Amino acid sequence: MAASSDLPNPDHVLLLAQELNLKVHQVAATAQLLQGGATVPFISRYRKEVTGELDEVQVTAIRDRMEQLQQLDDRRTTILASLTERNLLTDELKAKIGAADTLTQLEDIYLPFRPKKRTRATIAKEKGLEALAELIWAQHPAADIATAAAALVGHEYTLDDGKNTVGKIASAEEAFAGARDILAERMSDDAGVREKLRVMFREKAVVSSKVMFGKETDGAKFKDYFDWSEPLAKAPSHRILAMRRGENESILIMRVTISDEAAGSGLVEMHFAKNSSAAAAQVRLAAQDAFKRLLAPAMETEMRLESKKRADEAAIKVFAENLRELLLSAPLGRKAVLAIDPGFRTGCKVVLLDRQGKLLHNDVVFPDRSTLEAKEKLKGFVEFFKVEAIAIGNGTAGRETESFVRGLGLPASIPIVMVNESGASIYSASEVAREEFPEHDLTVRGAVSIGRRLMDPLAELVKLDPKSIGVGQYQHDVDPSALKRALDDRVVSCVNGVGVEVNTASKQLLSYVSGLNSATAAAIVARRDEQGPFKSRTELLDVPRLGPKAFEQAAGFLRIRDAAHPLDSSAVHPERYALVEKMAADLGASVADLMRDESLRRKIQLEKYVTADAGLPTLKDILAELAKPGRDPRQKFETFSFQEGVNKPEDLKPGMKLPGIVTNVTAFGAFVDIGVHQDGLVHVSQLADSFVKEPAEVVKPQQKVMVTVVEVDLPRNRIALSMRSNPQLGPKSTPQNSGVRANGPRTGGSGHGGRPNGPAPLPKSTQSLNADWFSAALNKKK
C-alpha cells in the first residue's frame, strides 16, 4: 500500500501499533508529527493530546522503527528493480518480496537471484552438468543416474574463466561431484532451510575463543579468553565484545558453532531428501556438503552479526543510561568558584570564575615546593574574589591537593569538592576550548572546565564528545553510528528536560535544544553579543535562520530570566500564553499573581479551559509549571568528601569501609572512585545482599555509596570492593574445585576462564566472574 508523501505509511502504522502494543491513532499521529519535523522532546512534552500521552521512550521507539521499516522498503524497491531489469520477476516472486517483513526474510528470498561470483556450482554448470543435477534433484526411484553420469564421461566443455579453459569430464564421479555442487548451492539458497538452521543456531550455538599460537605473552590481558566457551544465547554483551576485541587485535580466534554438527547436517538432509533412491543418496551427500561448506559458515556469520548487534544494543543502553545520570548530576549553581587542576611537579593551575563561569584570573601554585607562597596565594584569592566554592580535579595529585587546601583553614561555609575530570584534557585541546579561550593554554582551559563542571555539569559536558566522558562499556567496539544516535538522543533529552537559559548558554548547549542546530545556536549567540540579552522569547524570531517552525519546537525549552512576560522563564509554551492569561483574567489577577499565589491556582477549574488541542494533560502540566516556574529537575547539590588519609592504593587494606562515588556502571558491576586515583570494581555479585540481575537497578553514576575493600592487587592495579553487609575478604572468596588452582580471588583474580577441555573446569559462576574481571580490566579508568 503506497503512502502519501506527507502521511505515514498505513502498513507501517499498523505493524508498529501491534509491535509496540499501542493504539493505531497514537502511532499514526506520532509518525505524522515526526514526518512534519517535530522533535521527540517537543512531541512528548507539548503534544500529549495528539499522541495519547506517549513518553519520550515510546516516541523514540516509533521514530526508530519507522526508519527501519523505511529502509526495508527502500531495499525492497531496489531488489524489485534489479529483478525487473534482468527479467526475473514473476508474480509469485513479487508477492513473496512484498510479504517479507524483515530484512533477513527479504534477503533470503532474493539470495537465489542475487548476482554471484564464480562458484563451484557456476563451474559445474559451465561443464554442462545442470541436466544431471536436475535428474538427481527429482529423486525419481526409477531414474538411472549412474547411466546418465557415465554418458557424460568424455564430454568437452569450455570454462568462462577469462581464459576459455577447455577440458573433458574425466569420470562419472566428476560428473556426480559437479552435479552435487549445483545442488549444494541450491540448498544453500533455499529460504526455508536457512530459517530452520537459523532457529537451530540461535538455540544451540556455542561461542568459543582460543589464543592464537605464540600470542600468549602479547595477549596477556585476554588471558581469560585463551580457552573460553559458552552458549551464545546466554553470553552477556561484555564478553561477546571482549572476544571480538581480542580477535580484532589478532590475539584470539573466535568461533560460533553448534556442538552437534551432525544435527545441522541431518536437518538439511531431511529437508531435501525424499526417499531412499540412488538419486536421494546423492542429494544427501550434497546436503552434507551444503551444510559444511556453505550453510554452516553462513549461519556462523549471521550469528556473529546478530550477537554483535545484541551486544552493541546492550552496551549502548548501559552507556546512554550512565550518560544521563552524569549529565543530570546535581549542579552547585551560580557560585564564585576557585578551580584547581592538580599537578605537583608542574604546579597546580588555579583559575577564578565568577558566578556565570567567566574566567577572571589564573595562576600557578606549587604546594610541595613553595608551600608558604601557595598558601598565601590561595587564601588571598579566596578573600579577594569572594570565592564561594573550591573545585579540585580528581586526577594525579588530586587527593594531595585536596589535603593541602583543607589545611588552609578556610571558612567552613566554602565547600571543597573533588570533581571528576574525565575528558577535561580532551576539552582543553578542542576547537571549542580554543575558540572560547584563544589566549590561554591547555592547563587554563582544563582548570576552567573543572570549575564549570562543579557549577553546572550539563552545560559543561555537552561541549565534549560523550564517548570521551568515560562512562561507557566497550564504546570503541560498538557500531559508531548507533552509539552516536543513542548518546545524542540522551543529551537532547537531558538538555530539554532541564531547560536552557538563552542569555547565558553556550552555543554548544543551545545546539541540543529541540528545533535548533549548530547554525541557529551560533546565530542566537551572535545576536546576543551584538544587541545584548534577549528580553522576550518572541525576540528569537528575529534571529537569522530561526523560523516559525524552529521557534515552535524550541521556545518551550528556552528560558529568559527576568523577562517582561513572566511565562518566558517557565516551561509553558508561548502557544499557551493566551490560555494562562485567560485563567488569570477570570480570577481578576495577573499571570504573575497566579505564579506567586497558590490559593489563586487552587481556584482554577481546569475543565473550563479544555479545548480541542489543549486537554487535561496539557492543562495539568501548565498548572504544575505555574507552581514552580523553570524549576531545575536535578537533585540538590550535596558536598562529599573521601576518607582522609586514604590517598593511594597502598593505603588500602581489606576490610576498610570507605565512602565512594560511582563513576561507571557496566553489565558486570560498578566502578567506584574511593579517592586513590584508581577506581575499584564492585562486581554485580557484591552490589547487594540479595541477587542483582542488572547493576543499574542498584547503582547509578555519581551515586554516593559506602564500600568495603575486599582485595587490593597492586601489581595489576585491581581493587575489589563490595557493598554487601558482610563481604568475604581476600582470595578465599573464590569457589574452587579440588585439583584446580584459581589464579586469583573471586572478586579480583583473572582465573583461567573456564577451559571447556581442561581436566577440571571451574564452576560456572567462577568462569563468568573471571571473564567479567577481564572486561573490567579493559574498561577500567585510565
Share above pLDDT 70 across residues of the chain, in percent, rounded to a whole number: 92
Find the mean pLDDT for residues 645-664.
92
pLDDT at residue 256 above 80? yes
Report the range of poorest mean pLDDT among 110-114, 293-297, 601-605, 763-767: 763-767
Report the range of poorest mean pLDDT among 6-10, 210-214, 596-600, 617-621: 6-10
- pLDDT at position 465: 85
Side-chain-side CA neighbours of 697 within 13 Å: the count stands at: 9
- pLDDT at position 711: 93
**Residue 364 β-bridge partners:** 349
pLDDT at residue 771 above 70? no
The pLDDT tens digits of the residues spanning 319-355 come to 999 999 999 999 999 999 999 999 877 899 999 999 9
- pLDDT at position 469: 81
The pLDDT tens digits of the residues spanning 665-703 come to 988 899 999 999 889 999 999 999 999 988 999 999 999
pLDDT at residue 754 above 60? no
- pLDDT at position 757: 32
> How confident is the prediction for the chain on average, in pLDDT?
89
Contact indicator for 391, 417 with CB cutoff of 8 Å: yes
What confidence tier does 5 reach under pLDDT thresholds 50, 70, 90? low
Rounded Cα distance, 397 and 260, in Å: 57
Contact indicator for 308, 686 with CB cutoff of 8 Å: no
Report the range of poorest mean pLDDT among 52-56, 210-214, 285-289, 756-760: 756-760
The pLDDT tens digits of the residues spanning 625-635 come to 999 998 889 98
Share above pLDDT 90 across residues of the chain, in percent, rounded to a whole number: 78
Name the strand (E) or helix (H) holding 290: none
pTM of the model: 0.84
Residue 380 neighbours by CB under 8 Å, 6+ apart: none
- pLDDT at position 624: 94
pLDDT at residue 388 above 70? yes
Name the strand (E) or helix (H) holding 58: helix 56-85
The pLDDT tens digits of the residues spanning 266-278 come to 999 999 999 999 9
pLDDT at residue 2 above 50? no
pLDDT at residue 474 above 80? no
What confidence tier does 781 reach under pLDDT thresholds 50, 70, 90? very low
Find the mean pLDDT for residues 287-293.
97
Q: Which residue has the higher pLDDT, 715 or 28?
A: 28
Rg (the chain; Cα; Å): 33
Residue type, 351: V
The pLDDT tens digits of the residues spanning 636-651 come to 998 888 998 898 899 9
The pLDDT tens digits of the residues spanning 493-503 come to 999 999 999 99
What confidence tier does 515 reach under pLDDT thresholds 50, 70, 90? very high
- pLDDT at position 667: 85
pLDDT at residue 733 above 90? no
- pLDDT at position 765: 38
Find the mean pLDDT for residues 66-70.
95
- pLDDT at position 770: 53
Contact indicator for 449, 424 with CB cutoff of 8 Å: yes
What confidence tier does 612 reach under pLDDT thresholds 50, 70, 90? confident
Rounded Cα distance, 304 and 253, in Å: 13
Side-chain-side CA neighbours of 567 within 13 Å: the count stands at: 22
